[in-house]
């Protein structure tokens, strides 16, 4: 059965001054935004990206090229406007919110008192997933609520589309473990270089992820998505999953960033399958395994720019493309209004 909104948007595109289908994926992207928003006149005017930050106990295993202090230092950089996400968000006219859901350490008052900084710390980083559950189920739920809250704030503020990004040294290990658990992907196919680690650290990272998944598989014989998210996830990954779940409830499009954000999306899909309909995957990362995971999810990323930074940078580049798609649908003239001759009917 055809969705009336879907058909109405197809009809609108076909009346525009262009050959049918000539705007390619821009047409289907605008159609999907309309399906989510429930209108044949979809809008992407007010835009926001939420960057969730947290530390990871697994850094004690030597799985990253950078010390965990970089998480806190980079969040300060976000607040100063000096990071890549700041530049791209400003260029795209995108509002930026930073959420501390579990950074080890505190911030100066100028950061904590910023209106776009949210102090929602669940703990001083997760526990070491190689040796014990990263968080309790209650802590996981608390982190998810921090994400749900951001979706509600965005809805209250009239935001049309929301992107998710993250910052957390060690979080590619957590994401890889989640992917290995959710999709039974061999560790060597899913564990990558993250921050740019060498061969020795890569081998250690693979060993740690393999050990974590095996240990938690023994403990949790029955697969429960939220239990796995708590066992080997991260506060920021849980928060992004929570945002996706709430955004689906609010009929709000979500633009997923890269490898880590995709882990949150995969968890959200397991928790609430209907969340799949609201997610756009911004780009394919060069991080090992991202292509494999996107294929497993049946996702069609908007961009391929050989990026692997995180922070929401891929989402910041993809959101203006979605905005352009909806503006074309809204503002292009029709053959009739422009006085342009339409296609010659076949047989004439």
Would you say 303 and 282 are in contact if contact means Cβ atoms under 8 Å apart?
yes
- Residue 80 CA from chain centroid, whole number: 23
Residues facing 164 on adjacent strands:
50, 256
d(C-alpha 79, C-alpha 142), whole Å: 24
Spatial distance between the Cα atoms of 255 and 322, rounded to a whole number of angstroms:
10
For the four alpha carbons of 97, 101, 102 and 105, in that order, the dihedral sign comes to positive
> Could you give the angle at which helices 171-183 and 259-271 cross, rounded to 10 degrees?
40
pTM greater than the 0.85 cutoff: yes
Of the candidates 7, 16, 14, 2, which has an alpha carbon nearest to the alpha carbon of residue 40?
A: 7
How far apart CA 256 and CA 314 sit, in angstroms, is: 8
Class of domain 47-318: alpha beta
Listed by start position, the domains of the chain span 47-318
Tens-level pLDDT at each residue, the chain (348 residues): 358 999 999 999 999 999 999 999 999 999 999 999 999 999 999 999 999 999 999 999 999 999 999 999 999 999 999 999 999 999 999 999 999 999 999 999 999 899 999 999 999 999 999 999 999 999 999 999 999 999 999 999 999 999 999 999 999 999 999 999 989 899 999 998 887 889 999 999 999 999 999 887 776 655 678 888 999 999 999 999 999 999 999 999 999 999 999 999 999 999 999 999 999 999 999 998 999 999 999 999 999 999 999 999 999 999 999 999 999 999 999 999 989 888 777 665
d(CA 259, CA 286): 9
Catalytic sites, residue numbers: 311
Instruction: Give the number of other CB atoms < 10 A from CB of residue 315.
Output: 33
Cβ count within 10 A of residue 309: 16
Give the integer Cα–Cα distance in Å for 71 and 140: 20
Task: Rounding to the nearest 10 degrees, give the CA dihedral for residues 234, 237, 239, 242.
Answer: -130
Q: What is the pLDDT of residues 245-296, one digit of tens each?
A: 999 999 999 999 999 999 999 999 999 999 999 999 999 999 989 999 999 9
Bridge partner residues of 334 (DSSP): 16
The answer to whether 348 touches 333, Cβ cutoff 8 Å, is: no
Read out DSSP for 115-134?
Answer: TTEEE---SSS---TTTS-S
Helix (H) or strand (E) holding 151: helix 137-156
Q: What are phi and psi of 254, to 5 degrees?
A: -120, 130
- CA–CA gap between residue 85 and residue 311 (Å, rounded): 6
DSSP string, 161-173: EEEEEEE-TTHHH
Nearest to 314 by CA among 166, 155, 171, 144: 166
């Amino acid at each position: 059965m055809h969705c009336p909104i879907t058909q109405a948007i197809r009809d609108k595109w076909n009346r525009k001054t262009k050959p049918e289908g000539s705007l390619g994926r821009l047409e289907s992207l605008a159609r999907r935004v309309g399906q989510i928003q429930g209108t044949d006149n979809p809008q992407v005017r007010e835009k926001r990206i939420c960057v969730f930050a947290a530390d990871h106990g697994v850094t004690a295993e030597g799985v990253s090229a950078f010390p965990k202090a970089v998480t806190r230092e980079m969040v300060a950089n976000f607040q100063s406007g000096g990071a890549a996400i700041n530049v791209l968000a400003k260029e795209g006219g995108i509002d930026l919110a930073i959420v501390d859901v579990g950074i080890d350490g505190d911030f100066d008052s100028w950061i904590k008192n910023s209106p776009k900084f949210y102090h929602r710390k669940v703990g001083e980083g997760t526990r070491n997933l190689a040796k014990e559950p990263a968080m309790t189920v209650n802590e996981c739920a608390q982190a998810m609520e921090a994400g749900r809250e951001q979706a509600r704030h965005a809805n209250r503020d009239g935001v049309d589309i929301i992107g998710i990004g993250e910052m957390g040294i060690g979080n590619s290990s957590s994401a890889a473990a989640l992917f290995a658990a959710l999709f039974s992907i061999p560790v060597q196919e899913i564990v990558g270089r993250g921050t740019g680690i060498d061969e020795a650290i890569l081998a250690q990272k693979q060993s740690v992820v393999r050990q974590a998944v095996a240990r938690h598989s023994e403990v949790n014989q029955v697969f429960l998505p939220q239990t796995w998210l708590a066992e080997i996830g991260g506060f920021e990954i849980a928060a992004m999953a929570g945002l996706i779940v709430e955004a689906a409830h609010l009929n709000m499009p979500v633009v997923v960033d890269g490898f880590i954000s995709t882990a949150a999306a995969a968890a959200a899909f397991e928790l609430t399958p209907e969340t799949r309909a609201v997610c756009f995957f911004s780009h394919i990362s060069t991080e090992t395994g991202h292509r494999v995971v996107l294929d497993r999810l049946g996702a069609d990323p908007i961009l391929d720019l050989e990026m692997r930074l995180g922070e929401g940078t891929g989402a910041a580049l993809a959101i203006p493309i979605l905005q352009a798609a909806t503006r074309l649908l809204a503002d292009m003239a029709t053959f009739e209004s422009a006085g342009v001759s339409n296609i010659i009917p076949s047989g004439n």
